[in-house]
């Protein structure tokens, strides 16, 4: 039996990160439970205090139900160390395609993510190696915090 899980990403300002990942992954914002107009209404009904409400959109889901739910959780601490987690977004089409085709697909996706606010960190390519990818940083959640997250890499060696 497989376990159902959600990915939780600590951050200072969840909505900008949630909006970025909705666009990057093709996810959607998770609707509130049936019978509630908003997540704040739901949390209010289960007893969460008013000072913990009003954080905006912070939960995203795969509309097809295949990928994990992602919750951007507000934490008071500032980020101090490198994250030990990143998301690999596979767009290259797989090893059956020529490296030039995979490179074009990866570069196009990197440009799309840059337009959404991500930053290219480095290109992952070596002559003679049948691999091409890029490392990227997510947009900053606020101007006073460092990037909350994850490096996004495309076309990694571990893809099928």
Mean pLDDT over 12-30 rounds to: 94
Residue 24 scores a pLDDT above 50: yes
For residues 60 and 98, is the Cβ–Cβ distance under 8 A?
A: no
Confidence of residue 160 (pLDDT cuts 50, 70, 90): very low
- Tell the burial category of 17 from Cβ atoms under 10 Å away from its Cβ (0-12, 13-18, 19+): buried
CA dist 117 to 23, 33, 44, 58, Å? Answer: 11, 30, 33, 18
Contacts of residue 127, Cβ cutoff 8 Å, sequence gap at least 6: none
Of 83 and 63, the one with more pLDDT? 63
Please give the pLDDT value at position 28: 98
Would you say 155 and 92 are in contact if contact means Cβ atoms under 8 Å apart? yes
Sheet with 6-11: strands ordered across: 6-11, 69-74, 59-61, 28-29
What tens digit of pLDDT does each residue of 73-113 get?
888 787 777 777 788 888 988 888 999 999 999 999 999 99
pLDDT-based confidence at residue 18 (cuts at 50, 70, 90): very high
| Mean per-residue pLDDT, 41-56 | 86
- In 3D space, the residue among 63, 108, 89 whose CA is nearest the CA of residue 149 turns out to be 89
How many C-beta atoms surround the C-beta of residue 72 within 10 A? 28
What value does the mean pLDDT take over residues 21-27? 96
What value does the mean pLDDT take over residues 16-21? 94
């Amino acid at each position: 039996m497989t376990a159902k899980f959600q990915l939780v990403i600590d951050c200072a300002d969840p909505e900008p990160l949630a909006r970025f990942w909705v666009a990057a992954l093709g996810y959607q914002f998770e609707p509130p439970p049936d019978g509630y107009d908003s997540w704040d209404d739901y949390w209010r009904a289960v007893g969460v205090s008013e000072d913990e409400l009003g954080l905006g959109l912070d939960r995203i889901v795969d509309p097809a139900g295949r990928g994990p739910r992602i919750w951007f959780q507000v934490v008071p601490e500032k980020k101090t160390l490198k994250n030990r987690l990143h998301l690999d977004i596979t767009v290259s089409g797989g090893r059956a395609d020529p490296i030039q085709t995979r490179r074009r697909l990866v570069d196009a996706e990197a440009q799309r993510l840059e337009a959404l606010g991500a930053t290219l960190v480095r290109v992952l390519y070596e002559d003679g190696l049948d691999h091409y990818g890029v490392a990227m940083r997510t947009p900053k959640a606020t101007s006073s915090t460092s990037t909350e997250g994850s490096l996004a890499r495309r076309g990694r060696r571990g893809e099928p």
